[in-house]
C-alpha cells in the first residue's frame, strides 16, 4: 500500500486537481496530473467509479493493484506532482499486471513525470 503521506485526503484537494490539471488518456485509465511546488512529496489518488465495476470488492481490488504499481514507480518520478489515476474500464480488474504497469508508466511519461 502507498504510504499515507503520499495519498490525498478529502475531496477538496481533488477538486483543484480536477479543475486545473492536464488529462492524459490510455485504454484503461485517465490520469490528471499537475506540478505542485508547494509540497515536499508527490500525492496520488486512484478513483474507481461504480460505473466501472458494481462490486466494492472488485473496485477495491483494482484500486490496490494500481496503488502498488504507483508505489513501485514513485521513486522514478522527477519533481513533485499531484496525480489522480481515474480507472475508466472494468477490464483493469482482469488485465495482466504487466499491461497495467505499462499503461501507468506510459501516462507518467506523457505527463513528463518520468523520463
CATH code, domain carrying 34: 3.30.230.10
* pLDDT for residue 51 is more than 80: yes
CA dihedral (45, 64, 115, 43) positive or negative: positive
pTM for this entry = 0.90
Per the structure block, which three cell numbers stand in for 8?
Answer: 490525498
**CA angle 11-99-89, nearest 5°?**
45
| Per-residue pLDDT, 5 | 87
Q: Which domain holds residue 38?
A: 4-111
Q: Taking 90 as the threshold, does the pLDDT of residue 2 lie above it?
A: no
Q: Work out how many domains the chain is built from and give that number.
A: 1
End-to-end CA distance of the chain: 24
For the chain, give the mean pLDDT: 91
User: CA-based angle 32:25:15, to the nearest 5?
Assistant: 20
Whole-number pLDDT of residue 45: 93
CB 88 within 8 A of CB 52: yes
CA dist list (Å): 29 to 22, 32, 100:
14, 10, 9
CA 54 to chain centroid = 20
Amino acid at each position: 500500500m502507498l504510504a499515507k503521506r503520499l495519498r490525498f485526503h478529502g475531496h477538496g484537494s481533488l477538486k483543484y486537481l480536477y479543475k486545473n490539471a492536464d488529462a492524459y488518456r490510455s485504454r484503461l485509465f485517465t490520469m490528471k496530473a499537475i506540478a505542485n511546488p508547494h509540497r515536499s512529496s508527490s500525492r496520488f489518488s486512484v478513483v474507481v467509479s461504480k460505473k466501472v465495476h458494481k462490486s466494492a470488492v472488485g473496485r477495491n481490488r483494482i484500486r490496490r493493484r494500481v496503488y502498488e504499481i504507483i508505489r513501485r514507480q514513485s521513486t522514478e518520478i522527477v519533481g513533485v506532482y499531484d496525480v489522480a489515476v481515474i480507472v475508466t474500464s472494468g477490464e483493469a480488474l482482469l488485465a495482466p499486471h504487466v499491461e497495467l504497469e505499462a499503461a501507468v508508466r506510459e501516462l507518467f511519461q506523457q505527463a513528463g513525470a518520468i523520463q
